[in-house]
Amino acid sequence: MKKILVPIITLIVSLICLDNYAQEIAYESFGKGIKVQAKDSSFYAKIGFRFQSLFSSSLNLENDVWDRSMMIRRSRLKAEGWALSPKFSYKVELALSNRDIKGGSKTEFGNTANIILDAVLKYHINSNWSLWFGQTKLPGNRERVFSSQKLQFVDRSLVNARFNLDRDVGVQLHHKGNIGNLVVKEAFSLSLGNGRNVIINDENGYQYTGRIEFLPMGEFTGKGDYYGADLAREKTLKMAIGITADYNNNAFRSRGNLGSFLIDPVSEDYITDNLNTLFVDAIVKKNGFSSQAVYAIRKSPNSLGDFGVGQGLNLQAGYVFTNKVEFAARYSNINAELISSLNDQSEYALGFSKYFSGHNLKCQADLSYHDLELTEDDFLRFRLQVEFAL
């Protein structure tokens, strides 16, 4: 608890100090955060806070046993802005909920809570190029790069859970350009490949990630290609197609930079393998309708059973009515390799969302059927979640 209170107390003290020395503290409107700028315009910060309250209940279809839980699924403190000039921007995001920071018993995390999500500095070379340094999301599949605040369902899909690249520490290069109406975005990353907040001395290898996106009808309204639901009600058809290729050399976690740390019980050395991952994803929006799809495949040359390899497909679509109510449907499938820590499974889900203030204040629910083909019982699950973002 003490470790969690430190960043909150620090933020409060900082705001008190800034109130005395800053030129302006702006509270524009709900969901826009608290904006602060120095008198000499040497820095700018936007500070925000959000949380998700989640109720979940599932019915085991083999033995008719109900399970239920209620928790603060996510609680986040974040700040973004620039220093000296907008050419040097930054983002910091801290996790505060127990669900977010678990892992404190792991040596790889220094036996401490896993609090830091993002801590990244971005140097904007010009209007088209930027260089990032620090810890943040890798340029992986679109659904993962979505903020968890801005999802169409209560949470991301099974495909994302099993194959996503998540966050890591390293360097990224981003570029955006135009060829007529076609917008092309590229991102390249070199990272350690171990995941966020891993502090051990690691000489195993690196992770190499490349992504390219095509927007044939131009940019979406308000960066709508990176949030769920067509809340902007695009007047013309908008589409984005993305491809990500990733190579994690000598990975020692079951899912690359996520999952369990794999250790040989005899030698006590890490078990390693090279993981190759490919994502192809797309999103379409028009006049309240949205659909998105992702295909993922992960391979390893040695086919060690401790690693999660196989392929997955996620399809989902929804429609937002003019009263800001949305109904959505999702189908996800995991097809694991014969020797893999993954299991074959499918999910069929129906979702409901009521947006009171966009993704800043909303209520979401979904009902899903999970077909687990081999090792576990099939089950039904109902989830209800409220999202609040200052």
Tokens in use for 309?
């390899």
Inter-residue long-range contacts of 214-221, CB under 8 Å, 24+ positions, other chains counted:
214/182, 214/183, 214/184, 214/240, 214/241, 214/242, 215/182, 215/183, 215/184, 215/185, 215/239, 215/240, 216/181, 216/182, 216/241, 217/181, 218/181, 218/183, 219/183, 220/285
Confidence band for 268, pLDDT divided at 50, 70 and 90: confident
Residue with tokens 């040695």, as numbered in its chain: 302
pLDDT of residue 302: 83
Average pLDDT over residues 364-376: 89
Q: Other C-beta atoms within 10 Å of 70: how many?
A: 11
pLDDT of residue 14: 55
Burial class of residue 359 (count of CB atoms within 10 Å of its CB; 0-12, 13-18, 19+): buried
Which residues lie across from 209 on neighbouring strands? Answer: 189, 246
pLDDT of residue 111: 87
pLDDT digits (tens, 9 = 90+) for 293-307: 999 999 998 877 789
Given a cut of 70, whether residue 16 has pLDDT beyond it is no
Given a cut of 60, whether residue 29 has pLDDT beyond it is yes
Given a cut of 90, whether residue 32 has pLDDT beyond it is no
Backbone angles phi, psi at 63, to 5 degrees: -120, 5
Given a cut of 70, whether residue 10 has pLDDT beyond it is no
pLDDT digits (tens, 9 = 90+) for 164-175: 999 999 999 999
Average pLDDT over residues 81-94: 96
CATH superfamily placement of domain 50-67+130-389: Porin (2.40.160.10)
Mean of the per-residue pLDDT values of the chain: 91
pTM of the model as a whole: 0.90
With H, G, I as helix, E, B as strand and everything else as coil, classify residue 282. strand
- For the chain, the structural domain boundaries read 50-67+130-389
Confidence band for 364, pLDDT divided at 50, 70 and 90: very high
Residue with tokens 């993922």, as numbered in its chain: 296
pLDDT of residue 28: 74
pLDDT digits (tens, 9 = 90+) for 187-234: 999 999 999 999 887 777 899 999 999 999 999 999 999 999 999 999
Confidence band for 110, pLDDT divided at 50, 70 and 90: confident
Confidence band for 102, pLDDT divided at 50, 70 and 90: confident
